[in-house]
Amino acid sequence: MSDRPDSRGDQTGRLIEGCIDFARQCSDLLRDMPEDVFTSRGSGGSTIGAHARHILERFRCFFDGLDKGLIDYDDRQRGTLVERDVAAASAAFAELCERFANCPPSAFAERVAVRELVYHGGEQAVAASTPERELMGLITHGIHHLAMIAMIARAWDFPMPKDLGKAPSTVVADREIPHRIR
């Protein structure tokens, strides 16, 4: 693994590029998705729209919390338009791409606290973090939800890119070792 800076000049820039790529994948995927596939329930009971909303809300919580120095991932809105309208969700991911594209890496310089309920029988946990670590978490958490989106879409015979929902390291490993047992 390289510690080499990316085209923006640093590790934060690499994470921003990762967020842009992730949001673009989501926007492109949803742009061509029929509304009935987007709002149909998968075997787990959730819709693609619910997963899309969840991803978008975590990114919103991140940006809202940067200004306050406290990211509260439980401060999510539910039942919003992006959960019910595939065009609205696709547009929201495109807007997220733009937000990252226009955000200088220096916007992520300050340390933050993160608050989230991690056990349903207790209180929220609070931990120190960095915006860079949170960006990594947002990407990997989002990829996990893309895997569930892919499963729901395939159940409705909607074609999905073969690597959607795979960790970047898995995609790279699959390219390097194509005969790998899966």
Asked whether residue 4 is assigned to any structural domain, the reply reads no
Specify the DSSP class assigned to residue 8: T
Determine how many CB atoms are found less than 10 A away from the CB of residue 10: 13
* Predicted local confidence at residue 182, as pLDDT: 54
> What's the structural domain count of the chain?
1
pLDDT value for 1? 39
Whether the model clears a pTM of 0.85, i.e. scores above it, the answer is yes
Distance CA 149, CA 160 (A): 9
Domain containing residue 77: CATH number = 1.20.120.450
C-beta atoms surrounding 72 within 10 Å? 18
Look at residue 179 in the predicted model and tell me its pLDDT: 65
Q: Is residue 1 assigned to a domain?
A: no
Range of the domain at 53: 11-176
In this prediction, residue 6 carries a pLDDT of 45
Does residue 152 lie within any of the structural domains?
A: yes
**In this structure, is residue 105 part of a structural domain?**
yes
Answer whether 101's CB lies under 8 Å from 95's CB: no
Residue ranges of the chain with per-residue pLDDT less than 50 = 1-9
Supply the pLDDT for residue 86: 97
Beta bridge partners of 112: 129
pLDDT score of 178: 65
What is residue 69's three-state secondary structure? coil
